[in-house]
Amino acid sequence: MTEVKIVADCAASAESAFAYVNDYQHLPLFINEISAFEPLTEQTEGVDATFDGTISLGPVTLHSTIKIVRHEPGYAIAVKSIKGFEIESTFLFHDRGDDKSTIDAIVDYRVPGGIAGKLLGKTIEPFVKLAVKSSTNNLVTQVAAYHAARTSA
């Protein structure tokens, strides 16, 4: 597996950051490369909630069915593919005091073996790194605005 990890400070509590990411409808807002993301179960949060998603990485469009495999309110959300493109993604939220947190975004992915898999891996790797960095920057900005709206209401 290939791991991409980005760590970013955020002007929001870990609780607000978690709440923002926990709402699946926000995912396409901060991950620009997602072209479709729909729940497959009535349950849309917590362990075993399952989703279908499509992401475009440069010239390649990939599809996965993912399931939430870790859900620790205020601290962690992790998903793992159960069908399609193999991916594991984890968001960790570290509280740094009032209105401050650090978000770790970790993406592990695996391409199939053989020549085609190696070619796919070399094609998407720079796009994955850029997507994770861009998504984390978007997330930090959106979470700060979400947190400000929550705390001023």
pLDDT of residue 52: 97
pLDDT of residue 110: 77
pLDDT of residue 134: 81
pLDDT of residue 94: 97
Total Cβ atoms within 10 A of residue 107: 20
Q: Which domains does the chain possess?
A: 2-152 (3.30.530.20)
Alpha-carbon span 68 to 118, nearest angstrom: 28
Full pLDDT tens readout for the chain, 153 residues: 677 788 999 999 999 999 999 999 999 998 888 999 999 999 999 999 999 999 887 788 889 999 999 999 999 999 999 999 888 999 999 999 879 999 998 988 777 677 776 776 777 776 677 777 888 888 889 999 999 898 886
pLDDT of residue 1: 63
- Reduced 3-state DSSP string for the chain: CEEEEEEEEECCCHHHHHHHHHCHHHHHHHCCCEEEEEECCCCCCCCCCEEEEEEEECCEEEEEEEEEEEEECCCEEEEEEEEECEEEEEEEEEECCCCCEEEEEEEEEECCCHHHHHHHHHHHHHHHHHHHHHHHHHHHHHHHHHHHHHHHC
